[in-house]
Amino acid sequence: MKRIFVGFASVLALTSAAPILAKELAVAPGPGAQERLQEALILAQPGDVVLLGEGRFDLTDGLSLDVAGVTLKGAGPEKSVLSFKGQLAAGEGLLVTSDNVVLRDFAVEDSRGDAIKSKGADNIVYHNIRVEWTGGPKETNGAYGIYPVESENVLIDSVLVIGASDAGIYVGQSRNIIVRDSIARFNVAGIEIENSFNADVHDNVATKNTGGILVFDLPNLPQQGGHN
């Protein structure tokens, strides 16, 4: 496992350095929150912190972040809530496609599709995040809760996922992964690692899922030969 922790040196440095370098873009819930939050994610520059205020953000469309080196930070997973109960179109709640991103201290509820997906996003950190479908487990819930794919250096730390119709915490086709101190319950798959290299999954709780922890290496995907 030494290679995993060496690979995370840059991630840990990013997490500790970001507050020193950051400009803060504060966004409060309330009228126009959809447009104001998406605008902040578009205008943010590398090193900036987009701060979610306390309260419920009632959103009708998905959000996206494609700027590298940005932190999206709330006041805590019970205090800053991105609610997609009124989402009009299917798709992710939040889609991240840039490197060196930190997502922390907020919740995502009731997305029609995947809650938080990151694709091709290296050195990404998910920390102290709650994802929940508040109506309980249903086939109509979004498929994935925390969903990084095709990435290198993925840290999932202290997250809670409840009610995904596929996998609560899923990491696919990625390299150098840590999933720790997290809870998955009432999902179909609690924690799933698929077609990935060097995954350290430890000190988690997976309970009341159809399957607790699943490890797959499937054909016909861009990365095969999962190991370690």
pTM for this structure?
Answer: 0.92
| pLDDT of 16 strictly over 80 | no
| pLDDT of 134 strictly over 50 | yes
Residue 10 lies inside a defined structural domain of this protein: yes
> What range does the domain containing 186 cover?
2-216
User: In the predicted model, what is the mean pLDDT of the chain?
Assistant: 92
Spatial contact of 55 and 30, defined as CB atoms under 8 Å apart: yes
pLDDT score recorded for residue 54: 98
Q: Which residues contact 9 (CB under 8 A, 6 or more apart)?
A: none
Spatial contact of 189 and 163, defined as CB atoms under 8 Å apart: no
pLDDT score recorded for residue 90: 81
| pLDDT of 183 strictly over 50 | yes
Residue 224 lies inside a defined structural domain of this protein: no
pLDDT score recorded for residue 5: 47
- Identify the CATH number of the domain in which residue 54 sits: 2.160.20.10
Residue 228 lies inside a defined structural domain of this protein: no
The pLDDT tens digits for 61-70 are 999 999 999 9
| pLDDT of 8 strictly over 70 | no
Residue 226 lies inside a defined structural domain of this protein: no
Domain count along the chain: 1
| pLDDT of 59 strictly over 80 | yes
Residue 225 lies inside a defined structural domain of this protein: no
Phi, psi (deg, nearest 5) at residue 7: -65, -25
